[in-house]
Amino acid sequence: MMAGESEDPLTRPEPSKLRIVVGCDGEEQSRDALELARQLAEPIEAELTVAAVLTYDPLLPFDLDPYEAALAERFDQIFEFAAEQLAGESFECCRLTGPSPAGELSGLAERLEADLLIVGSSHRGRLGRIYPGSVTDSLLSGAPCPIAVAPRGFSDRVADSMKVIGVGFDARPEADAALGLAVELATRLRARLQLIAAVSYRLPIASEFAAPLDVRAVERERLETGVGDAASSASVERSETSVEDGYPADILVDWSDRVDLLVIGSRGYGPLRRVLLGGVGAQVVRRAGCPVIVVPRLAVGDPPQRTSAAAGPIEVEGR
Amino acid sequence: MRRPLIIGHEDTPEGADALALGAQLAHAFNANPVVVRAVPVPESALNAPESTEALKAVAAEELKQPVARLEGPGAAAEAAASTSAARALHELAEGRNAIAIVVGSSDRGVLGRIVPGSTAERLLHGAPCAVGVAARGYAAEGTRPLRLAAAYDGSEEAEQAVRAGVALARRCNSSLTLFTVVGNAGSDGYPGDPLVDSRVPGMDTRTRQERRARELLDDRVGVVPADLPVHARLLHGAPGQALVDVSEDFDLILVGSRGYGPLRRTFLGSTSRRLFNGSHCSVLALPRGIDADVLGEKADSLAAR
């Protein structure tokens, strides 16, 4: 399975590499996350870390040598599994133990200043669609870096390069972070950027709270101006825009079958620099057909896209 | 100064449940109950003068009855607008330094389940204060001494839930039951795993686990003031589900926020997420970090925000 276009030395990615962490528990459904990691990391030459978390019961005292041995054996199995799925892509291993897989992954992403943390969908979800399990669900509420979720069965699809990156854009300040990451990925992957905006049907034509306004017309104008400005200022080779009438979640889910990757922002309230789903995002991550990245909201003064300095290989044995 | 406790009101039976639980908690926390009608308003209309006028009218008319049902000083009613109901409540709580937000169960779910994307669910991810969700039918049951429960696993977050439970029990003349759950065997590397047992002759990780849980629970109950009626119970199974199974016997279960994430914010871990999804009784999630007002303690350095 080959992914990505051949490297053109003249348009080499920027020197600072992105750091991608992928969570892997050795179960079948983590193949999807690994495959997404491979498709993203390979063409952009990202630094890839595979993180395995084994849970333990905090109620038990830790004086069990055989328990240590059992853990070590299990870690080895998981990284063998990952290596097989990553098909030659080089990666660093990170062994984590703790009571909460989401907590450990979240902490690791923070320590490594990861640009992206990739996880899979639950085996209970529909095939071909995203559906968060409990770890992914926890990360989607409060993780300190962008979270990418692979649809169930993604690793069984015919691997293709990421040609179109969609971004949900509502021209509000909280959408800037999503746009920033989408532009960054589109540039590095040499993909087309697709800006997607929706004039919500939920908006009343004339609001009882603002009688003289035709709210939808005002909103459409605001969005058309917003996506136009964003597209013209985005430093990508090719971009297209779309402003449609409908329910925003439905429109984004529709687009998820026509783009290779969909980037959305966090909601506009709550703690900054944390992934947090709003009403639309909560639906998109339960229905989308392509991988979805949810980006935390930026604080005022944050650079549009943080690219961390490469950290050295680490082995973390948290406990 | 008394802080507000925000009650998200809707003109539904679930709104009445929120009002009943909110009134009780406001009394217990020595807070001012504020009934709030959260109004989603399109962004373009948010700052129009017409909106402000319309909101005032809503507050005056719709909330007249519910606020009259709140006894005691400091009760107030108002309408709050933002682009979503959850955001309106969140922003109000943040701006007023509220002690808690109380809402009713989602009207879209069966059995009062918290629905993904619902107002309650969004509040439970990152609210700047405690978040309570009233069980369906709470208002109809009438006021009586609360039967309180708190989950305890020895963690710092659970310790806070227990301390809040002790404080609430004292002020409401309630009973308090502490639960510790002995987890299921079977997941990867879990000490109750047969994998470990098979490696050491005579090893029985399950028994060790159970013994340790019992010690932990007994130790914690041992330091609760002797005049409070406190019970301790060991449960078995997946922690979230085990609590759901006993929730029918209680009026309110307290849970801490998960142990990672920002301080002074409410974020659910997997156990409390499961509990909120299936609980038969009301649930109160506490933010990470001690809130002296919730504990009814005069801890000046901690209370400073």
- A contact residues 221-240, partner B, Cβ 8 Å cutoff: 222
B140 confidence band (pLDDT: 50, 70, 90): confident
Residue B5 scores a pLDDT above 90: yes
Instruction: Work out the average pLDDT over A94-108.
Output: 92
Say if residue A283's pLDDT is above 90: yes
Q: Which of B44, B114, B156 to mutate to test the interface with A (most CBs of A within 10 A)?
A: B44
Min distance A249 CA to chain B CA atoms (Å)? 11
Tell if the CB–CB gap between B183 and A57 is shorter than 8 Å.
yes
Chain B 217-256, residues with CB within 8 Å of chain A CB atoms = none
Task: Check CB contact under 8 Å for A213 and B183.
Answer: no
Among the partner-chain residues A67, A103, A286, the one whose CB lies closest to the CB of B258 is A103
Q: Which of residues 270-299 of A touch B (CB under 8 A)?
A: 270-271, 274, 276-279, 282-283, 286
| C-beta contacts of B138-146 below 8 A and 24+ residues apart | B138/B17, B138/B20, B138/B21, B138/B251, B138/B282, B139/B13, B139/B16, B139/B17, B139/B19, B139/B20, B140/B13, B141/B251, B143/B20, B143/B24, B145/B172, B145/B173, B145/B174, B145/B175, B146/B24, B146/B172, B146/B174, B146/B251, B146/B252
pLDDT higher than threshold 80 for residue A307: no
Mean per-residue pLDDT of chain A? 85
pLDDT tens readout for residues A125-149: 888 888 888 899 999 999 999 999 9
pTM of the model: 0.87
pLDDT at residue number A258: 96
Q: What is residue A61's predicted lDDT score, i.e. its pLDDT?
A: 53
Average of per-residue pLDDT across A85-108: 92
Q: What is the reported pLDDT for A62? A: 53
Phi and psi torsions of B252, nearest 5°? -150, 130
Cβ proximity of A214 and A205 under 8 Å: yes
Q: What integer best gives the mean pLDDT of chain B? A: 84
Which of the pair, A193 or B43, is modelled with greater confidence? Answer: A193
B262 touches chain A (CB under 8 A): yes
Bigger pLDDT: B200 vs A165: A165
Instruction: Find where tokens 């559906």 sit.
Output: A131
Residue B186: per-residue pLDDT = 43
**A136 interfacial to chain B (CB closer than 8 Å):** no
Q: Tell me which residue in A100, A215, A286 faces B269 most closely, judged by beta carbons.
A: A100
Question: Which chain B residues have a beta carbon less than 8 Å from that of A172?
Answer: 43
- Distance (Å) from the alpha carbon of A210 to chain B's nearest alpha carbon: 5
Given a cut of 80, whether residue B195 has pLDDT beyond it is no
pLDDT band at A1 (very low <50, low <70, confident <90, very high): very low
For range A240-250, the mean pLDDT:
95
Contact indicator for B240, B274 with CB cutoff of 8 Å: yes
In chain A, % of residues over pLDDT 90? 62
User: pLDDT at residue A10 above 80?
Assistant: no
Helix ranges (H only) for chain B are 13-29, 49-62, 64-69, 85-96, 119-123, 156-172, 194-199, 205-222, 239-246, 270-278, 292-295, 300-303
**What is the predicted pLDDT for the residue at B299?**
42
CB contact under 8 A, B268 and A141: yes
Minimum-distance CB partner of A269 among B91, B196, B262:
B91
Confidence band of B184 (pLDDT split at 50, 70, 90): low
| pLDDT for the residue numbered B305 | 35
Are B126 and A172 an interchain contact pair (Cβ–Cβ within 8 Å)?
Answer: no
The number of residues making up chain A comes to 319
- Tell if the CB–CB gap between A210 and B42 is shorter than 8 Å: yes
pLDDT at B165 over 50: yes
**Chain B hits for A271, Cβ within 8 Å:** 126, 262, 265
Residue of B299, B14, B16 lying closest to B160 (CA atoms): B299
- Model confidence at B302, pLDDT cuts 50, 70, 90, reads very low
Residue A60 pLDDT exceeds 80:
no
Q: Encode pLDDT of B125-139 as tens digits.
A: 999 999 999 998 899
Q: What is the pLDDT of residues A19-44, one digit of tens each?
A: 999 999 998 889 999 999 999 999 99
pLDDT of residue A12: 46
SS3 B116: coil
Mean pLDDT of A45-58: 87
Whether the per-residue pLDDT at B268 is higher than 80: the answer is yes
Of A62-71, A191-200, A235-244, B95-104, the poorest mean pLDDT is in A62-71
What is the rounded average pLDDT of the residues B151-173? 90
The answer, yes or no, to whether residue B189 has pLDDT greater than 60, is no
* A160-188 mean pLDDT: 94
Are B192 and A215 in contact (CB < 8 Å)?
A: no
A134 vs B43, B153, B270: nearest CB: B270
CA distance B65 to chain A (A): 22
A 245-274 near B (Cβ less than 8 A):
267-271, 274
Quick: pLDDT tens for B209-248: 788 889 999 999 999 988 898 999 999 888 888 999 999 9
A7–chain B nearest CA distance, Å:
39
Give the pLDDT confidence score for residue B283 in this predicted structure. 94
- What pLDDT was estimated at residue A3? 42
Q: Is B188 on the interface with A (CB under 8 A)?
A: yes
- The C-alpha atoms of residue B85 and residue B63 are separated, in whole angstroms, by 16
Q: Which of A123-132, A300-309, B159-168 has the lowest mean pLDDT?
A: A300-309
End-to-end Cα separation, chain B, in angstroms: 13
* H or E stretch at A231: helix A215-233
Q: Tell me the nearest-neighbour CA distance from B269 into chain A, angstroms.
A: 7
Chain B residues in contact with A69 (beta carbon < 8 A): 199
CB contact A203 to B (< 8 Å): yes
Task: Give the H or E element holding residue B284.
Answer: strand B282-285
Phi-psi region at A214: left, alpha or beta (left = phi > 0; alpha = psi -120 to 50): beta
Does residue A194 surpass a pLDDT of 60?
yes
Residues in chain B, total: 305
Whether the pLDDT of residue B7 is over 70: the answer is: yes
- Predicted confidence at residue B145, as pLDDT, reads 77
